[in-house]
Structure 1
Amino acid sequence: MELLQLQYFQVVARLEHMTDAARSLHVTQSSLSKTIQRLEEDLGVPLFDRSGRSLRLNQFGRTFLHRVERALFELEQGRQEISDLSSPESGSVELAVNTAGMLPEILRKFRGKQPHVHFHVQMSTTDEMRTLLRRGEVDFCLSSPPVRGDDIECQVMLLDSILVAVPKGHRLSDGSSIAVTELKDEWFVGLKRGYSTRDITDRICQSVGFTPKHVYEGDEPARLRSLVEADIGLAFVPESSTWGSTEGNVQYLRIEHRDFVREIGLSWHRRRYLSRTALEFREIATDYFNRLPHRQVHSTSSAIY
């Protein structure tokens, strides 16, 4: 059994398509098929159920894939550790995020201390982040909700209150807070389902007897303010997105419900080797959140979930 066979099997198992896997690996389909066949001969069992051109992992394949991914994960951690020991002044940090509002300032501080370190950021869903962490493909995930799991360590950085944005002159704009039930007849502009703020607000509103009515659903948080200013609808927005912004024609009201809050957390795989540069990034990110004037968390210590 060869390392190349395991690497090829991992890609084919993930894609369950020989042509796509060959394209991803930059090898010919015939060469890839022969490599997988030799692996199956070495194991003495088929790893896929084949029907024409389609492939599906069978029970043997699923069991073997679990072990292969663990083995390749450990080998990659060893490679990273050796690289860190041999070149301590260089390196890279891989990030996955779904909340990027505070990231520029964190990266600015990080680059100021580590100007020669490469970092790469990708936007991902929570499920994608969990997969990336377990495969060892990213160092950290900065997300709301935080990524949690038996093999994932999570540090909650911020409890970010969710406010409702209303245009000045609106019937609700006289006060500084509002009961959630007062919003049941309003129209909203907001993010699509799957974003943490949208999912939290939908769930809480439904628990008190109504579903928010949306006239606009998008994936650009920065656009919501202008839509509220134009009196298109109200918007649920994280308090952190209002820090430093000029008030303009929008007023932000607190919602009288303790669950209108989102957690922002930094997560990493418990067994992933974290380089010196990765550890410094975590230190800088933690320090950034600790210094926020509006910071609120249950605990500043990391916890394993």
Structure 2
Amino acid sequence: MELLQLQYFLAVARLEHVTEAAQSLHVTQSSLSRTIQRLEEDLGVSLFDRTGRKLRLNEFGSRFLRRAERALFELEQGKQEISDLLSPEQGTLELAVTTASPLPHILREFRKKRPNIQFHVQMLNSQEMVMLLQRGEVDLCLSSAPVQGDDIECQIVFIDPILVAVPKGHRLANRDSVSLTELKEEWFVGVKRGYGVRDLVDSVCQSVGFAPKYVYEGDEPARLSTLVEAEIGIAFIPSTAKQSWEHIKYLQVENHELVREIALLWHRSRYISRAALEFREVVADYFGTLSKQTMQSGEK
């Protein structure tokens, strides 16, 4: 049994299609098919039920997949650990986030500490993020909602109050806080359903007897401030995403715990590089400082 056979088997098992698997591996379909056939001959069983170029794992294949994934996982962990020992100041940190607003500050501080470490950031939804984390394709995740899982470590790093952003000419602009029930007749701009903040806000508003009326629903949270300033509608914006716009006023929400939890995620069983460990420290320090500032401003 060869390592190449396991790698090809894993690609076919995940995609269940010869053509797509061959394209992902950058090999010919005939080469891929021959390699899988040799693996099945070595094992003495067929691993797939075949319908043309479409494959589906059978019971033998499903059982073998778990073992193959574990074997390749351990080999990849060993490779990463050796690379880290040889060149601790080099490498690339793979990150996935569902909330991007704190990233500029965090990445700037990390780059000061490790200027030679590259980083690659992907903006994903929670399901995509967890899938890549479990596959080992990302090192760390910053999520705007905690994620539960047997193999996922979840550290809540910040409790982020959600504020109400109104234009300076709005009837509430002379206030510092507002109750949710006072917003029943307002028009809102927001992100689409499926975003953590949108789903949280809708749920809390429903609990007090109304559904926010949206005149705009998008997939770019950073655009909301522009729309608020243009008086298109008001918006629910996390405190970490608020911007110092001259014509926008941010109000606290009264009597309700309208907050989101920001969590740092990593895989319990996977090797964590020195760079990833230092990034975790930078994240903890950043949100620790932010928490103190939030408490101090609340006491004034």
Normalized against structure 2, the TM-score is what? 0.91
Partner of 2:273: 275
1:116 aligns with 2:116: yes
Q: 1:203 to 1:44 in 2, by over 3 A?
A: farther
Partner of 1:159: 159
2:206 and 2:5 map into 1 onto residues whose CA distance is 51
Q: Give the CA deviation at 1:274.
A: 1.1
Q: 1:159 to 1:293 in 2, by over 3 A?
A: closer
Kept in 1, the 8 Å contact 2:158–2:291? The answer is no
1:196 aligns with 2:190: no
1:252 aligns with 2:253: no
Partner of 1:88: 88
Unaligned runs of 5+ in 2: 296-300
1:51 aligns with 2:60: no
1:57 and 1:184 map into 2 onto residues whose CA distance is 52
1:291 aligns with 2:289: yes
Within a 5 Å distance, the mapping from 1:144-223 to structure 2 comes to 144-223=144-223
Normalized against structure 1, the TM-score is what? 0.90
Q: Give the CA deviation at 1:201.
A: 0.7
Q: Give the CA deviation at 1:166.
A: 1.6
Unaligned runs of 5+ in 1: 298-305
1:98 aligns with 2:103: no
Q: 1:150 to 1:293 in 2, by over 3 A?
A: closer
1:209 and 1:45 map into 2 onto residues whose CA distance is 60
Q: 1:257 to 1:36 in 2, by over 3 A?
A: farther
2:150 and 2:4 map into 1 onto residues whose CA distance is 30
Q: Give the CA deviation at 1:291.
A: 1.5
2:170 counterpart SS class: coil
Kept in 2, the 8 Å contact 1:189–1:233? The answer is yes
Provide, for residues 187-246 of structure 1, a one-character-per-residue CA deviation record: whole Å limited to 9, x for no partner: 21111112111111112222333322211111111211111122211111001112xx33
Q: 1:235 to 1:187 in 2, by over 3 A?
A: same
When the two chains are superposed, the root-mean-square deviation of aligned CA atoms in Å is 1.9
2:294 and 2:37 map into 1 onto residues whose CA distance is 56
Kept in 2, the 8 Å contact 1:141–1:147? The answer is no
Segments of 4+ moved more than 4 angstroms = 293-297
Partner of 1:302: none
Letter in 2 for 1:239: S
Q: Give the CA deviation at 1:247.
A: 4.3
Partner of 1:137: 137
Q: 1:6 to 1:296 in 2, by over 3 A?
A: farther
Q: 1:87 to 1:209 in 2, by over 3 A?
A: same
Provide, for residues 106-140 of structure 1, a one-character-per-residue CA deviation record: whole Å limited to 9, x for no partner: 11121112111122111121111111111111110
Letter in 2 for 1:33: S
- Residues matched between the structures, number: 295
Kept in 2, the 8 Å contact 1:189–1:216? The answer is yes
